[in-house]
Chains A and B, each alone.
Chain A
Amino acid sequence: MAEDINDFYEEDTQKGKFLTFGIGREVYGIEIGVVTEIISIQRITEVPEVPKYIRGIINLRGKIIPVMDVRLRFKKPFREYNERTCIIVVHIHELSIGLIVDDVAEVIFMEDDQIVAKPDIKSAQNQYIKNIGKVGDEIKLILDCEKMLDADGEVFLMELK
């Protein structure tokens, strides 16, 4: 019982909250629930034989986790990391992974009616977007983390070739 209540509250406080970050000029958002922490860019150890967007592995206080460059994942050109570059550590399905982004903006709250379904455009880049959020005049692209981590499918095979 007690757990149920806890779950309920936890979900409640995190619901509708998104961490926003920038890649180039776009602003993306991910559900705050999956985010464990945000760290500055670290020394990355390269791992051979993985797709380019997997930059390698980092040492997160003794834990070794892979890091993915979201830019490269979205097939945008690589940009040198600087002091604004961040790693967002997310935890999904028992899996920790770091997402390298240009910069982290803020945590925003969006009501359900501010979020609309994505337009039905069939392009590779679009498949990682779950919904589109509107805050004022700004558009936030809400990421589908699971899809992004999913290495299956054509994209993965293409990268390998």
Chain B
Amino acid sequence: MEPMLEMFIFETNQNLEQLEQITMNSEKNGTFSKDEINDIFRIMHTIKGSSAMMLVNEVATLAHSIEDIFFYMRENKPENVECSTLTDIILESADFIKEEISKLEAGKQANASASVLSESTKAFLTELKTSNGDIVQEKTSKNSIKNQQYYIGAEKTSEIEEVLNVFYAVIKYQEDCEMENIRAYTVVNSMQDIVKEMHYLPEDILDDDNTVCEIRNNGFKMWFTTVKNYKDITKLLDNTIFLKSLDVKQLASVNECEYWPTKKEVVKEVILDEIPIKPILATKKTECHDVHQTMISVNVEKLDVLMDLVGELVIAEAMVTQNPELAGLELKNFHKASRQLKKISSELQDGVMSIRMVPLSGTFQKMNRIVRDMSKKLNKQVELVLIGEETEVDKNVIEHISDPLMHLIRNSLDHGIEIPEMRVKNGKNPIGKITLEAKNAGNEVVINIVDDGQGLNRDKILERARENNLIYKSEADLTDKEIYAFIFAPGFSTKEKVTEFSGRGVGMDVVMKNINAVGGTILVNSEPGKGSMITLKIPLTLAIIAGMTVKVGNASYTIPIVSIRESFRPAEQNLIYDPDGSEMIMVRGQCYPIIRLHKIYNINTEVTDFTKGIIIMVETEKMTIGVFADQLIGQQQIVVKPVPVYIKNISNIAGVTGCTLLGDGSISLILDAVGLISKL
């Protein structure tokens, strides 16, 4: 992608994100504060300027019409502002711009028309003005339309020779804008069609990075001759992005210019040269905003490769330091060195893992918008509380949980939270509350979605489960948790009426699928009348997990530690054999079925007697089973690798989700609890 475009997309997205946050905040407060008005004005101004520069005209026009509103609000401080209508306008526009930006990102043309939005924005402004008793100020809108022309139709140079005006202009940029030299260059570029002759200091703005400092300290100075008048020039330059101050002076003749080299070609040449922006962009930084960090964007694939390599390094290291050929040798220095190696490689592993970690805040913030839009449409009043947004999760995991979270929040809002009248009647605060909380718990992230709505209807769920033939054991034996878990079954919905947001019964099973795909689990808890709580437990990362390796015959299998409850060698009196040949184990008064790994996978082993081997209790949200293996080998961090595609194509081996390399270079298959249970 063109570096300029990349910068534009990056900047605009960031601005939009900020815009959304500010807007929603002000909506919450019911008013736009002075700072917020200024911020939005600035953001819209920036978007307008940069998108006009990138020739994304529709976005520029739209941004401009919003800017107008805030210009008016800033200048005239109107008292009657339809806050929520305005918020709607801004958010809709932000969506539109986002859409267009993502088109550009995908390498397509941003070509949707914003005329409807622009019209409604203008209408809003007119209404705002009349409701506040102001006469419509033609001037502002006219001016800005002219401004547009300069950017887009810059080729409209005057053919007629007129009196040339000489100007001296100094542009100073905001302190944190970065890349002053490129920004100066865009100014030069936008000017080049309307000026006759132009010189500027510092000269080598593109080739020489040191000019950044100079512009930062002394401003960017330009001397030029043009047919345009003072007003036009000021207006044009005023649109510069990140402008801090602008000083334009009209001079009597070129003789008054401090810097006016005779060689005219010099400047033109610089302008026409290919823009070598790339090296400068490499040091690109995010806008200095407290919430954002300094970051670079890296292709996730590169990180995956790095992760793979580190994984291999860890294995290779184990192959060297635990090499069987070393057994019995007195190697003091070797062990010292290998300890050092181990330390470095584990730090490296942590480092690479942390690169892939992304805070949940982005995903959480999105929920704000959903809650806002939905509560408006459903006439419910809901407050969303976010806790622990800074919790970090692997990038791949985030991608998988964004959709489920959205579904769950929607569900809470639609099914959980009652309408305000109902809430008042039940003695609750008319404003419902949904809490989205994330926290770290060992190798997992726990996300709670708590609402104080009406809770799940146990009987209704049970009834629906009966209709759908979902009940797998006697109803009396079902625990509340098991009953609530039915809502995740495909096609399950207790809602009589299908609404725009939920009730179609799709969704919850998708949630389940998505969460299971990243090795997570879901728990539902609910108290009638008081609300419900959905808990997601998600592994921090997919790439490396803690696993327990067991041996069966000559084969090794690895079970993720998260699903193991305990492991032990059973005593004969705790084993139960029923007449059908099923085998069960009694643990603390509870009876669990046993799966023999050697049997289901047809492995030759000498250990077939339960009391000679080991039973690992494996837990899923549905049930707990005992898995019988020959012996435990040990617990270790394993790098998860996919099962080769070829084998996957041939047969989908139930219970095996991946494979991993053990310290001695041999391969172990990773077992998955849910798959194993299906083998029962």
Contact = CB atoms under 8 A, between A and B. Distances in A.
B667 A58 contact: yes
A64 B654 contact: no
B653 A47 contact: yes
Interface string A30-47: 000000000000010111
Interface in B628-658: 641, 643-647, 649-651, 653-654, 656
Contacts of A66: 644, 646-647
Given A45-B666, A45-B668, A48-B656, A62 B315 contact: yes
Interface string A140-153: 00000000010100
Interface in A86-103: 95-97
B665 interface: yes
A45 B668 CA distance: 8
Given A48-B602, A48-B653, A62-B315, A97 B666 contact: no
Interface string B661-680: 10001111100000000000
B666 A54 contact: no
**Number of chain A interface residues as a range:** 20 to 34
Interface string B546-583: 00000000111000000000000000000000000000
A48 B666 CA distance: 16
Interface residues of B, number: 30
B600 interface: yes
Given A45-B669, A62-B315, A149 B654 contact: no
B555 A45 contact: yes
B265 to A, nearest CB: 36
A64 B644 CA distance: 7
Contacts of B641: 64
A95 B647 CA distance: 11
A54 B315 contact: no
Nearest to B646: A66
Contacts of A96: 644
A61 B650 CA distance: 24
Contacts of A62: 308, 311-312, 315, 661
Contact of B653 (A50, A65, A151): A50
Contacts of B650: 50-51, 54, 151, 156
Nearest to B644: A66
A157 to B, nearest CB: 12
A14 interface: no
B660 to A, nearest CB: 9
Nearest to B604: A46
B600 A48 contact: yes
B553 to A, nearest CB: 9
B472 interface: no
A57 B651 contact: no
Nearest to B601: A48
Nearest to B662: A59
A85 to B, nearest CB: 18
Contacts of B179: none
A24 B560 CA distance: 43
A32 B105 CA distance: 42
Interface in B225-256: none
A46 B556 CA distance: 10
A160 to B, nearest CB: 8
Contacts of A47: 643, 647, 653, 656, 669
Interface string A60-79: 01101110000000000000
Nearest to A61: B312
A151 B649 contact: yes
A57 B661 contact: no
A12 interface: no
Interface string A2-18: 00000000000000000
Nearest to B652: A49
B667 A59 contact: yes
A49 B653 contact: yes
Nearest to B660: A64
A114 to B, nearest CB: 32
Contacts of A48: 600-603, 653, 656
A45 B603 CA distance: 11
Interface in B603-642: 603, 641
B409 interface: no
B667 A45 contact: yes
B644 A50 contact: no
A95 B667 contact: no
Contact of B644 (A49, A51, A65, A151): A65
B653 A57 contact: no
B659 interface: yes
Given A48-B602, A95-B646, A57 B659 contact: yes
Contacts of B647: 47, 50, 54, 57, 66
Nearest to A151: B650
B198 to A, nearest CB: 42
Contacts of B311: 62
A62 B665 CA distance: 8
Contacts of A97: 644, 646
B62 to A, nearest CB: 44
Contacts of B656: 47-48
Contact of A59 (B556, B601, B651, B666): B666
B676 to A, nearest CB: 12
B646 A64 contact: no
Contacts of B661: 59, 62, 64
Contacts of B654: 49
Contacts of B315: 62
B649 A64 contact: no
Contacts of B649: 151
Contacts of A50: 647, 650-651, 653
B644 A57 contact: yes
Task: Give the interface centre of A57, A97, A151 by most chain B CB atoms within 10 Å.
Answer: A57
Nearest to B668: A45
Nearest to A48: B601
B668 to A, nearest CB: 7
A149 to B, nearest CB: 7
B274 to A, nearest CB: 23
Task: Give the interface centre of A46, A65, A151 by most chain B CB atoms within 10 Å.
Answer: A46
A48 B665 CA distance: 20
A102 to B, nearest CB: 22
Interface of B: 308, 311-312, 315, 554-556, 600-603, 641, 643-647, 649-651, 653-654, 656, 659, 661, 665-669
18 contacts: A45-B555, A45-B667, A47-B643, A47-B653, A47-B669, A48-B602, A49-B601, A49-B654, A57-B667, A59-B665, A62-B311, A62-B312, A62-B661, A64-B644, A66-B646, A95-B645, A97-B644, A97-B646
Given A50-B650, A51-B650, A97-B646, 18 more contacts: A45-B555, A45-B668, A46-B554, A46-B603, A47-B647, A48-B601, A49-B601, A49-B651, A54-B647, A57-B647, A59-B661, A59-B665, A59-B667, A62-B308, A62-B312, A62-B315, A64-B661, A96-B644
For the complex of A and B, the 9 pairs showing the least CB-CB separation, nearest first, are A48-B601, A45-B667, A62-B312, A49-B653, A151-B650, A66-B644, A49-B651, A66-B646, A66-B647
